[in-house]
Amino acid sequence: MLTYTHVYRQRALIVPAILGGLIFTPRLPAQVGLGLAPMRLEMRLSPGRQQSGALTLTNDSLAKTRIRAEILDFFIDPTETPQFERAFPQESEYSCRQWLSLNPMETELEPGATTLVRYTIRVPQEVTERSYHCAAGFTTMPTAEEMTATGLKTAVRIVAALYAVVGNPAVEGGLKEIKLEYVSEVQQAGWFAVVVMENHGLMHFRPSGELTLLGAEGQVVETSTFHPIPVLPKREQRFLFPLKEPITRGKYTLRARVDLGTHEIQEATAAVIVRSPNP
Residue 151 sits in the same domain as residue 237: no
Q: In the listed set 108, 140, 166, which residue is the last one of a domain according to the structure?
A: 166
What's the first-to-final CA gap in the chain, in angstroms? Answer: 7
Q: In the predicted model, what is the mean pLDDT of residues 98-121?
A: 97
Distance CA 128, CA 121 (A): 16
Residue 231 sits in the same domain as residue 136: no
**Which residues constitute the domain of residue 67?**
34-166
Q: Is residue 24 part of a domain?
A: no
Distance CA 162, CA 84 (A): 12
Q: Is residue 23 part of a domain?
A: no
Residue 159 sits in the same domain as residue 46: yes
Residue 216 sits in the same domain as residue 177: yes
Count up the domains in the chain and report the number.
2
Distance CA 248, CA 175 (A): 26
* CATH code: domain of residue 77: 2.60.40.10
- Torsion sign across C-alpha atoms 271, 273, 278, 279: negative
Residue 157 sits in the same domain as residue 175: no
Distance CA 201, CA 233 (A): 6
Evaluate if residue 5 carries a pLDDT over 50.
no
> Each residue of 177-216: pLDDT tens digit?
999 988 887 777 788 999 999 999 999 999 999 999 999 9
Residue 134 sits in the same domain as residue 46: yes
Q: In the listed set 98, 131, 166, which residue is the last one of a domain according to the structure?
A: 166
How many C-beta neighbours within 10 Å does residue 77 have? 11
Q: In the listed set 116, 136, 166, which residue is the last one of a domain according to the structure?
A: 166
Q: Is residue 101 part of a domain?
A: yes
Q: Between 53 and 4, name the one with better pLDDT.
A: 53
Q: In the predicted model, what is the mean pLDDT of residues 220-235?
A: 96
pTM of the model: 0.82
Among 10-14, 83-87, 123-127, name the one with the lowest average pLDDT: 10-14
Q: Is residue 10 part of a domain?
A: yes
Q: Is residue 157 part of a domain?
A: yes
Residue 106 sits in the same domain as residue 201: no
Residue 162 sits in the same domain as residue 192: no
Q: Is residue 227 part of a domain?
A: yes
Residue 38 sits in the same domain as residue 111: yes
- Residues 2/274, Cβ–Cβ less than 8 Å: yes
Distance CA 39, CA 116 (A): 14
Q: Between 224 and 17, name the one with better pLDDT.
A: 224
Q: In the predicted model, what is the mean pLDDT of residues 58-84?
A: 95
Distance CA 201, CA 204 (A): 8
Distance CA 175, CA 10 (A): 9
